[in-house]
Structure 1
Amino acid sequence: MTELRHRGAKDGEPPLQQQPSEDKGSDSELKVEKDGVSDTETKADSGVPEVPVPADDTPEVLNKALSGLSSRWKNWWVRGILTLAMISFFFFIIYLGPMVLMMIVLCVQIKCFQEIITIGYSVYHSYHLPWFRTLSWYFLLCVNYFFYGETVTDYFFTLVQREEPLRILSKYHRFISFALYLTGFCMFVLSLVKKHYRLQFYMFGWTHVTLLIVVTQSHLIIHNLFEGMIWFIVPISCVICNDIMAYMFGFFFGRTPLIKLSPKKTWEGFIGGFFSTIVFGIILSYFMAGYRYFVCPVEFNNDSNSFQVDCEPSDLFQLQDYALPSVLESVTGWTTVRLYPFQIHSIALSSFASIVGPFGGFFASGFKRAFKIKDFANTIPGHGGIMDRFDCQYLMATFVNVYIASFIRGPNPSKVIQQLLALRADQQLHIFNSLKAHLVEKGLLPALEEAAA
């Protein structure tokens, strides 16, 4: 950043505006002290312009109702009330079904992208970079077209093959996606202006890293959702539970700082959140695993021309008896316990949400400290921006997708058949003969013929 400032002065550009720390008002000093940023850190990062601090957006009715409380308890009540409101909204969209959930994920993704891009634009607004915001949103459109097109083709093959326009778009989807991106790439090259080259390439990278972090991982959330809403709801709920319980334990019992990036995070909150999330994950999984609405994958019904969530639950969602270890048997007096296998997997999900998931929040905290901001935006009073609530969710989504691919998902016969039906007749006949020879060699085909007779 210092190099950019020097370059701007040499090339006749206006230098990045950054006032020395001693010229800042008492409000800025209080903010630095509140956020836990030392004077040394402030001076070391003096080459980075600060993003304007958003005004307090707490609803006036809450300000009046909580006016007699200290700032600490006022923040506690504001966060608590808004948290309950967000959880209620979450339950409502779950009731509306998977397709509405998918649209909500898309809206959240767009808002998170807007918050990060706005920070970049606010920091370097004085340079008046040509086409920066236009190209950023264009690249977002291109990447979403690519990912959602892949998802529709993969999960709703029957619908795509039935409609001629969709079939053509599916066949040339990747070429169209590449052509769209190439158009944006050429537009960026044409937008390059003398004396702004380095900064323009810097912002080009800013946009692409944002797309990688936000769009790619939100796409994985969609994939998890289509595997069954339980793979969407349980991981997200575990992150929410860990965030709430870590805050509660830290608020009432926190004494030992956990990490310098987030001075308010404590070991007491971290440990309390871990055990609370494990118990919560097991209980929530037991409740949800008994309902087909939550465990069945989302499929398109060709007969009713609608999306449906109905199937015969797999063994993962069938109650089974598990023998207890001798230690637990001596304590409880039980020899076996009846659980859904998914509850065992929920322990892995809860553990990740409690141990590794918070590092997504620490990463976001480091990003915000780099630009001297407290929150990504002021969308949600007491919570900050949408990205402040989803910084851990994106990391969790990636883990769940990898976990499903590694330990859960097997070959899907329906998808194999869909791919076979898309082949030419001679290719289908070749595969049929190969499969028939394989079954005869294994001794399975004669048994099938006798059963048919």
Structure 2
Amino acid sequence: MNQNQYSTGADVGSSKIEGASITNRNNIQSSNESSITPIASEPKLNDPTHSNKLQAFVIRTIWTFVMIGVFFFILSAGHFWCILLVLFCQITTFKECINITVENSQLINLPLTRTLNWYFLFTTIFYLDGLSVWQFSSKYLSKIPVIGYYLNWFAMNHVFISYCLYVSGFVLFVKSLKMGHLRYQFKSLCITHMVLLLCVSQAHLIIQNILSGLFWFLLPCGLVIVNDIFAYLCGITMGKTKLISISPKKTLEGFLGAWFFTVLASVLLVKVLSSSQYMTCPIVDDLKVNVFSNMTCDLNPVFIPQEFRLPPLTIFKSLNLPASITIKPIYIHAINLSSFASLFAPFGGFFASGLKRAVKAKDFGDSIPGHGGVTDRVDCQFMMGSFTYLYYQTFISENRINVSSILTTAMMNLNEKQIVALIVELNKFLVEQNVISIEFYNNLLEVYNQLV
């Protein structure tokens, strides 16, 4: 028995020794493996993460050139297609903003909520753009006997009809309220009106810029794009100071550097764009023009060189500068627009970034491969477009009254007899100025008396 005990003890001892040796070998092997870990952790050519980043970069680059090509094709196609582009961005932005800010699961029980969102959108578009559509289509639609009459009635009562449509939507919203969903429904209504105010209303002003001339559409767009590019380039080369917390990659150096380069770019853009009357001429009564239409017009004075006297300062005299300089005023206005594009328009993008972070979304959508949604590309353009409109109307517009605007006003506010009376009075004035004959005027007067 002692022998068995000793033998057993020996076996146990040997097992411990063998176990220890195996453990030591394992430790040595693991230490050797750990010593070569840095070599194994180096990036490989077939690393899926590296491949995905490269693929995303390629897709983003391809679609960047696609968007540039489509944009310039639309510009050359004419003002009508540029307006359709803005309407597309208007509707798509509304859709993307609503989609990321509402809980889709709630819509299963509240189908009328989404319907009301779209109802308010098209009611707003009708109110903002209805008269513009009528102005440029009246000479075609008014020739249709029945349709022309009713469309004219809609144009005459446009504001009242718009109000009735909005009130109807408000009543439908109140009727659709359900207990247990009230918080969600009122949140959806507030978001809808926020998007209508910040996106749809400002996009309407961009359409007005297009009608004033493609110059006032393309210049603001170009300034925002240039500012975005140089903000990135200056940020990665000089950026050290964080600008705003909701966008950690935005730096103060990039912000200010982009301002400098955008001002320089504005001078170059004005030089190129102001040389073409296709860009500078406003639309009077025909939206069918395009780059081959050979448009001509009386230029706005801002596109005509003017003489400016320099203030009698000592520094100007010491530099032997002339007493006055001749320059197109549009260059001065472009510097003001570029300053807004650099210092204020980016906050439209910051606002969009804050909204995405609030709802924990990376992008507003995926409609543009590699770029996210349409809203991600035009978030700064809305604010820039509205400022350009107000700046143009305040400092540049000549507030001209043209034949088209007078005819549209007459057709919207006068009946047939009143229009004939207006024609008679105009012809009476022309008779007094010896422009038309008295016989022609008398014949017209007989027609008027028959109608009365």
Would you call these one fold, judging by a TM-score over 0.5?
A: yes
TM-score, normalising length from structure 2? Answer: 0.72
Report how far residue 149 of structure 1 moved: 0.8
For residue 379 of structure 1, what is the aligned residue in structure 2? 367
For residue 399 of structure 1, what is the aligned residue in structure 2? 387
TM-score, normalising length from structure 1? Answer: 0.72
Aligned counterparts of 1:129 and 1:259: Cα–Cα separation in 2 = 38
Report how far residue 121 of structure 1 moved: 2.8
For residue 286 of structure 1, what is the aligned residue in structure 2? 271
Q: Deviations over 1:314-370 (max 9, x none)?
A: 222223344567757977977765532212111111110000111111111111121
1:318 touches 1:340 (CA, 8 Å); kept in 2?
A: yes
Aligned counterparts of 1:411 and 1:161: Cα–Cα separation in 2 = 26
Q: Closer, same or farther in 2 for the Cα pair 1:275/1:66, shift >3 Å?
A: farther
For structure 2, the 5+ residue unaligned runs are 1-44, 435-452
For residue 257 of structure 1, what is the aligned residue in structure 2? 242
Report how far residue 201 of structure 1 moved: 1.8
**Matched residue SS, 2:285:** strand
Q: Closer, same or farther in 2 for the Cα pair 1:64/1:346, shift >3 Å?
A: farther
For residue 406 of structure 2, what is the aligned residue in structure 1? 417
Q: Does 1:214 align with 2:214?
A: no
For structure 1, the 5+ residue unaligned runs are 1-62, 437-445
Percentage of identical aligned residues: 37
**Matched residue SS, 1:263:** strand
Q: Closer, same or farther in 2 for the Cα pair 1:382/1:256, shift >3 Å?
A: farther
Q: Closer, same or farther in 2 for the Cα pair 1:69/1:289, shift >3 Å?
A: same
User: How many matched pairs?
Assistant: 373
Aligned counterparts of 1:109 and 1:68: Cα–Cα separation in 2 = 36
Once the two structures are superposed, the pairs formed by residues 8-407 of structure 1 within 5 Å of their partners are: 68=50, 79-122=60-103, 125=106, 128-154=109-135, 158=139, 164-165=148-149, 166-301=151-286, 306-307=288-289, 309-322=295-308, 338-407=326-395
Report how far residue 392 of structure 1 moved: 0.8
Q: Closer, same or farther in 2 for the Cα pair 1:109/1:417, shift >3 Å?
A: closer
Q: Which runs of 4+ in 1 moved over 4 A?
A: 63-71, 73-81, 154-163, 305-309, 321-338, 420-423, 425-432
**Matched residue SS, 1:258:** strand
Report how far residue 130 of structure 1 moved: 3.4
Report how far residue 94 of structure 1 moved: 0.8
Aligned counterparts of 1:87 and 1:300: Cα–Cα separation in 2 = 29
Q: Closer, same or farther in 2 for the Cα pair 1:425/1:119, shift >3 Å?
A: closer
1:295 touches 1:313 (CA, 8 Å); kept in 2?
A: yes
Report how far residue 173 of structure 1 moved: 2.5
Aligned counterparts of 1:276 and 1:335: Cα–Cα separation in 2 = 29
Q: Closer, same or farther in 2 for the Cα pair 1:104/1:64, shift >3 Å?
A: farther
Q: Deviations over 1:381-416 (max 9, x none)?
A: 443211111111111111111111211223322166
**One-letter amino acid of the structure 2 residue matched with residue 114 of structure 1:** K
Deviating more after overlay: 96-105 vs 202-211: 202-211
Deviating more after overlay: 194-203 vs 220-229: 194-203
For residue 39 of structure 1, what is the aligned residue in structure 2? none
Aligned counterparts of 1:346 and 1:92: Cα–Cα separation in 2 = 24
Q: Closer, same or farther in 2 for the Cα pair 1:353/1:195, shift >3 Å?
A: same
**One-letter amino acid of the structure 2 residue matched with residue 112 of structure 1:** T
Report how far residue 208 of structure 1 moved: 1.7
2:107 touches 2:114 (CA, 8 Å); kept in 1?
A: no
For residue 3 of structure 2, what is the aligned residue in structure 1? none
Report how far residue 150 of structure 1 moved: 2.1
Q: Closer, same or farther in 2 for the Cα pair 1:147/1:193, shift >3 Å?
A: same
**One-letter amino acid of the structure 1 residue matched with residue 198 of structure 2:** I
**One-letter amino acid of the structure 2 residue matched with residue 405 of structure 1:** Q
